[in-house]
Amino acid sequence: MNSYRRLLELVKPYWHRLAIAMLCMVGVALSTAALPYLVQPVLDDIFIQKKAEMLKFLSVAVFLVFSVKALTEWGQTYLMSYVGQRVVAHLRQQLYDHLQRLPLSFFDRMPTGLLMSRVTNDVNLIQGAVSNAITGLLKDPLTLIGLMAVMFARDWQLSLISMVILPFAFFPVVKFSRMLRRISTKSQESMGDISVILHETISGSRIVKAFGMEEYEKERFNKENTRYFRYLMKSVIVRALSSPLMEFFGGIAIVFVILYGGHRVIQGVSTPGEFFSFLGALLLLYDPIKRLSRINNVVQEGIAAAIRIYDILDTSPGIQEKPDAIQLPPMQRELELSNVQFRYDNEPVLKNINLKISAGEVVAIVGVSGAGKSTLVDLIPRFYEISDGVILIDGVDIRDVTMDSLRSQIGIVTQQTILFNDTVRNNIAYGDINKDEEEIIAAARAANAYDFIMKLDQGFDTVIGEQGVRLSGGERQRLCIARALLKNAPILILDEATSSLDSEAEMEVQRALENLMAGRTTLVIAHRLSTIKNADRIVVISNGLIVEEGRHDELMECDGEYCRLYDMQFAQLDNKSKASTVSKVSDQVSK
Domain positions in the chain are 2-313
Burial of 25 (0-12, 13-18, 19+ CB in 10 A): buried
What is the rounded end-to-end Cα distance, in angstroms, of the chain? 89
Alpha-helix residue ranges (DSSP H) falling in 267-315: 272-313
**Cβ neighbours around 441 below 10 Å, total:** 17
Calculated CA dihedral for residues 207, 208, 213, 218, nearest 10 degrees: 160
Report whether 136 contacts 291 (CB < 8 A): yes
At residue 590, the pLDDT reads: 42
pTM here is 0.72
Alpha-helix residue ranges (DSSP H) falling in 340-413: 373-379, 403-407
Q: What's the CA gap between 97 and 118, in Å, rounded?
A: 13
Query: Which bin fits 268, alpha (ψ -120 to 50), beta or left (φ > 0)?
Result: left
Kindly tell me the number of DSSP H helices and DSSP E strands found in the chain: 22, 10
| Angle at the Cα of 283 from the Cα atoms of 279 and 286, rounded to 5 degrees | 145
How far is CA 241 from its chain centroid? 34
Most distant pair of Cα atoms in the chain: their distance: 130
Reported CATH class of domain 2-313? mainly alpha
Q: What's the CA gap between 257 and 262, in Å, rounded?
A: 8
Report residues of the chain scoring pLDDT below 70.
Answer: 1-4, 165-175, 177-178, 181, 206-207, 210-211, 243, 293-294, 297, 497-506, 527-531, 569-591
Which candidate, 482, 533, 480, 202, places its Cα nearest to that of 366?
A: 533
